[in-house]
Homo-oligomer: A and B are copies of this chain.
C-alpha cells in the first residue's frame, strides 16, 4: 500500500435500496472452488516463494524481477494463458542494500537498530563520529526551519545527525485496534437502505504556516549534504522497536547523505544523552548497490481466456512490489498470492468463463501506483481520452489491505452494481463475508492520495472493486515495517479471500450482462477536470 495515504482506504458510499434481482449462482462450481481453496490450497507455498525466496521486491531490483518471473512461470504452470511480464519505463535504477549496521561506541557500546533508506548512498566503509541532534519539530514553518539549520551550520560536518526533535510517545496503547471488523459495523456499511457515509479519514489539519513534510525533508537533505554530514539518522517514531523505512524520493543517491531510520528506543536514548550534554559516538556502515538495468517496471499478466465474450475482461489485480526492510508479506504478498491462487483455483476447477479473467500483478505501487497507472494508460486510457479498449474492462479487483480475510466488496460504480455483488457474495456468508457497497468517489491524480492501485482505474473512469478486509495487525505492526514477514499471515484468512474472489470473478465473467456501471452521463466527473469536494 502506498505510504502517504494508507489510512484512506475506504471510498464514500452512495448506495440506495434496490429491489433484489435474481443473480444465478453456479453452486457446483462454488463447491469445486471451495474444495480447491481449502483442500488443495497452494497459497502459503506461493507466499513462501514471494517472501522468503524472492525478496526484497523493491521495484527495479533483481529480486523483484525474479519474483515477477517466478509468478509468471507459476501461473503458466497452473494452466493460465499468455503469462508474461509487461514492461514499462519507470526511469530509475534498481537499488539493493548489502549491509547495514550501526553501533554505539561511547559512552556505551553495542548494537543499534537501523534500517537503510532505499536509494540512499553507501557510507565509505564504517564511518565513525559524534552524534548531533538537529531538533527539527514535526511541523516547522519556513522561518523555524531556516533558523534551526542556520544554528547548526557547519557543526554537522563529520557528524552523524539525528534529524528530528525527540518525540514523546505514550508508554502504553490502552485501546489497540480490534483484529476484525464488528459484524454490526459491516452490516451497516453494506446496507443499501442505510449506507454509512464514508470517505477519507479526516487528516489532522497541519499547523498554520507549516511546511509540507516533503519540503522539510528536502531542505534537511540538501543542508546535510552541503554541510558534509557523515550520515542522517531518522527516528522511526513507532512503538515496540518497529521501523518503517521508505525511500529517497529523488531516487538519486548523490542527492542525499547516507540515511538510516533508527528504532525509537535507540534514537531516544541517544537524543536524551545529547540533551544532557554528553558526547555520544556512533559507528555506521551502509553498503548499497544500484542496478542500472532496473529502469523498466514489470507488471505480471496472465489470462484465463474467455469464450464468446473473450474481448471483455474481469481483472484480478494486486501489487507485487514491496518495501525493502522485510519480505512484504502483508503489503502486498498476500494480495498477489490471493490473486494468483484465485487464478489457480479457477484453472484447476476447470472453469471456462465467457469473459476473459485476467490476473495482473502490479509493479511500483509503493512509488505512486505506477505499474497499474502504466497499464491503464497503455490499455484503456481514461474516460476523457479513451483508447479503443476502454470499454473492454468489466471490473478490476484490487487487494491491498494486509492479510485479513475478505469481509465484503466496495465498488466504484452505481448501486445496481453493488446489488449484483451482494448476491454473488451471499453463498459465502458462512465465511463471514457480509456484503458490498457502491461509491461514486472518483479520485484525483493531483490531490494527495490515492491509496492503492484501484485509484489508477477509478481515476480513469473504469469500474474497480476494492476488497474490504479485516485489519488484523496491519496498521499497528505489519504495514511497511521490518516485521512484515510470512509469520504475520494467518493461512485461513488468505484461503478465504482467494476462494471468494475466484467465485465472484467467475460469476461476473459469465453473467449475461456486464456488471452495471456508470454511463457517460452518470460517470462522476474527474476531480482534476472539474475540482469538487469528496462526497
Q: Which of A36-71 contact B (CB under 8 A)?
A: 48, 51-53, 55-56, 63
> A470-494, CB under 8 A of B: which get 1 and which 0?
0011000100001101111110000
A265 is an interface residue with CB less than 8 A from chain B: yes
A264 is an interface residue with CB less than 8 A from chain B: yes
A107 to chain B: which residues have CB within 8 Å?
Answer: 53
The interface centre, meaning the residue of A53, A109, A482 with most chain B CB atoms within 10 A of its CB, is: A109
The interface centre, meaning the residue of A240, A327, A490 with most chain B CB atoms within 10 A of its CB, is: A240
A249 is an interface residue with CB less than 8 A from chain B: no
| B108 near A99: Cβ-Cβ < 8 Å | no
CB of A86, distance to nearest CB on chain B (Å): 25
CB of A3, distance to nearest CB on chain B (Å): 20
* A101 contact from B97, B101, B273, B403, Cβ within 8 A: B101
A529 is an interface residue with CB less than 8 A from chain B: no
| B113 near A276: Cβ-Cβ < 8 Å | no
> A159-190, CB under 8 A of B: which get 1 and which 0?
00000000001111010100100000000000
| B171 near A48: Cβ-Cβ < 8 Å | no
A487 and B263 CA atoms in complex are apart in Å by: 11
When all copies of this chain in the complex are counted, the total is 2
A490 to chain B: which residues have CB within 8 Å?
Answer: 170-172
A534 and B241 CA atoms in complex are apart in Å by: 39
A365 is an interface residue with CB less than 8 A from chain B: no
Could you tell me how many residues of chain A have their Cβ less than 8 Å away from some Cβ of chain B? 57
A511 is an interface residue with CB less than 8 A from chain B: no
A486 to chain B: which residues have CB within 8 Å?
Answer: 268-269, 272
A53 to chain B: which residues have CB within 8 Å?
Answer: 107, 273, 276, 278
A239 to chain B: which residues have CB within 8 Å?
Answer: 487
| A485 near B55: Cβ-Cβ < 8 Å | no
A174 and B470 CA atoms in complex are apart in Å by: 13
Q: Which of A240-271 contact B (CB under 8 A)?
A: 240-242, 263-265, 268-269
> A353-380, CB under 8 A of B: which get 1 and which 0?
0000000000000000000000000000
A115 is an interface residue with CB less than 8 A from chain B: yes
| A113 near B110: Cβ-Cβ < 8 Å | no
> A93-104, CB under 8 A of B: which get 1 and which 0?
000111111010
A327 to chain B: which residues have CB within 8 Å?
Answer: 269
Q: Which 7 A-B pairs have the closest CB atoms?
A: A101-B101, A265-B485, A171-B490, A241-B483, A100-B111, A98-B109, A52-B269
Sample (11) of A-B pairs whose CB atoms are under 8 Å apart: A51-B269, A55-B108, A56-B108, A63-B108, A97-B110, A99-B109, A110-B324, A171-B403, A241-B482, A265-B326, A268-B487
Apart from A55-B108, A97-B111, A169-B487, what are 18 other A-B pairs with CB-CB below 8 Å? A48-B272, A52-B272, A56-B110, A96-B109, A98-B103, A99-B103, A99-B109, A99-B110, A110-B324, A113-B482, A171-B403, A172-B179, A172-B473, A174-B179, A265-B326, A265-B483, A265-B485, A269-B485
